[in-house]
Amino acid sequence: MQKNPAYSSLVTVGDSFTEGMSDLLPDGSYRGWADLLAARMAARTPGFRYANLAVRGKLIGQIVDEQVETAAAMRADVVTLVGGLNDTLRPKCDMGRVKGLLTEAVERLAPSCERLVLMRSPGRQGPVLERFRPRMEELFACVDELAARHGALVVDLYGAPSLGDPRLWDVDRLHLTAEGHRRVAEAVWQTLGHEPEDTEWRTPMPATVPPGWLTRRAADARFARQHLLPWIGRRLTGRSSGDGRPPKRPELLPFEGLARPSADAELP
């Protein structure tokens, strides 16, 4: 692969991970790894353009229906696609259908861009996700197979020890912190062929004294009340945090810094 390529445009497709939750800015909007990556790419390429079609809560079928054709029509140099993980976290999940839809997305996007980037999404350590881990790993095996077949790049976030650290995840235990998103941006940057700005992004954070039992139980109770129960409620009623929400950055336009209109900071 060419070293330090000068790509002129980036389109990102996906769900809350690519929208940037929970990298919260002071104005109540979200930044995230895709914005950070776009800022780096824009700094080295005059006239660089960026679109972020991601919307929180989207399932792979919705991503295919609502984002893929739009992304393909933009004919960007680089397209990133991350989707399907929300499906694997549903109580009932048809993995055959999920993999079929992901295949459809890749087959449509790969010919439309110079470089398609797929990801093995990061996996937080903890008991809540353990029951879904076999589905996640089946999804990631599909990602690897599709990348090999279509010449796409794969960013292996799932295999990065640093991103399994609970300290890099927000209090909702579903989304990365600002530091987590920074590391993801670095991972994609390097995968695209750029010289590393942080050679240690995979390295775990220094160990600290873990919180005591009472502190952990209080945090568990707060998480269940504020995030887990509402999340379960939306699953049972077929609602999504992204219902009615437009794409983060729907047009492929010149990228000027990280400023953009505020969005409400509702967590999914």
Say which residue, 150 or 125, is predicted with more confidence.
150
Going along the chain from its start, the domains and CATH numbers come out as 9-210+246-254 (3.40.50.1110)
CA nearest neighbour of 243 among 5, 15, 1: 15
Q: How far apart are CA 75 and CA 109, in angstroms?
A: 9
Share the mean pLDDT of the chain. Answer: 86
Task: Work out the percent of the chain whose per-residue pLDDT is above 90.
Answer: 65
Least confident of 134-138, 184-188, 253-257: 253-257
pTM for this entry: 0.84
Tokens found for residue 190:
């390097």
Q: Please, are residues 12 and 54 in contact by the beta-carbon 8 Å criterion? A: yes
Strand, helix or coil at 125?
Answer: coil
- Angle at which helix 95-109 crosses helix 133-150, to 10 degrees, equals 30
Q: DSSP for 62-123, please give it.
A: HHIIIIIHHHHHHT-SEEEEE-SHHHHTSSS--HHHHHHHHHHHHHHHGGGSSEEEEEE---
Highest-confidence segment of 53-67, 116-130, 161-175, 245-259 = 53-67
The pLDDT tens digits for 3-44 are 878 899 999 999 999 999 989 898 888 999 999 999 999 999
Q: Which two tokens stand for residue 159?
A: 């295999």
Specify whether the CB–CB gap between 205 and 162 falls below 8 A.
Answer: yes
pLDDT in tens, 128-179: 567 888 999 999 999 999 999 999 999 999 999 999 898 898 877 688 999 9
Q: Residue 100 has which token pair?
A: 């079929």
pLDDT given at position 248:
92
Q: What pLDDT does 69 receive?
A: 98
Best-predicted range by mean pLDDT (132-136, 187-191, 222-226): 187-191
Q: What is the pLDDT of residue 123?
A: 77
